[in-house]
A = this chain, B = another copy of it.
Amino acid sequence: MLKVETAMATAIEEAKKAFAAGEVPIGAALFHKKSGRLIAVGHNKTKALNDPTWHAEMEVIKKACQSLETTYLNDYVLFTTVEPCAMCATACAHAKVGEIYFGAYDVKSGGTINGARIFNQQTCHHKPEVYGGIMEGICQGLIRDFFKEKRGVGAVPS
């Protein structure tokens, strides 16, 4: 049985790994809907891999499809700490992800509820169910702390 908060906590742990590595702290995890089994986790590694496409959701989709030997994830649920961008949302459509739960809304770079609103496009071949705002405070807080640290706000003066 899949519990939303427990599943999102797994994605948040991934986001924390990204934070610790100096990457934008976004994490994701994919679970089998019926059994609640964890299939794959991932987090942003765009700097580490010199790959601007290596978002948390992309890593999870790749890992899951390879491990399950399929390109269709209809029976699976993706948890991600931040609203997927248009790249990741379209990847979810390509992979036919069943459901998406995300944490923080992203007015600037989101492509699911904001921006391109990929699943609302008439040409979108697959529209997962989408639920936003799950444990939003923690997910948004990680992003805020990361960029505050990068800007040096709150740093101890030397």
Name the CB-closest residue of B to A58.
B53
Interface size on A, residues (CB 8 A): 39
Q: Is the interface of A mostly helix, strand, loop or mixed?
A: loop
Interface status of A158 (Cβ within 8 A of chain B): no
Interface residues of A in 108-138 (CB under 8 A from B): 108-111, 114-118, 121-125
Interface residues of A in 55-79 (CB under 8 A from B): 58, 61-62, 65-66, 69-71
CB contacts (< 8 Å) of A125 on chain B: these are 109
Name the CB-closest residue of B to A72.
B52
A71/B46 contact (C-beta < 8 A), A61-B52, A108-B123, A123-B109 known:
yes
A111/B94 contact (C-beta < 8 A), A52-B61, A70-B50 known:
no
Distance A90 CA – B107 CA, assembled complex (angstroms): 16
Tell me how many chains of this kind the complex includes: 2
Interface status of A9 (Cβ within 8 A of chain B): no
Flag if A85 contacts B90 (CB, 8 Å): yes
Q: Closest approach, in angstroms, between the C-beta of A55 and any C-beta of chain B?
A: 9
Query: Which of B58, B65, B91, B114 contacts A50 (CB under 8 A)?
Result: B65
CB contacts (< 8 Å) of A91 on chain B: these are 52-53, 87
Interface pairs (6), CB distance under 8 Å: A46-B71, A53-B95, A85-B94, A90-B111, A111-B116, A115-B123
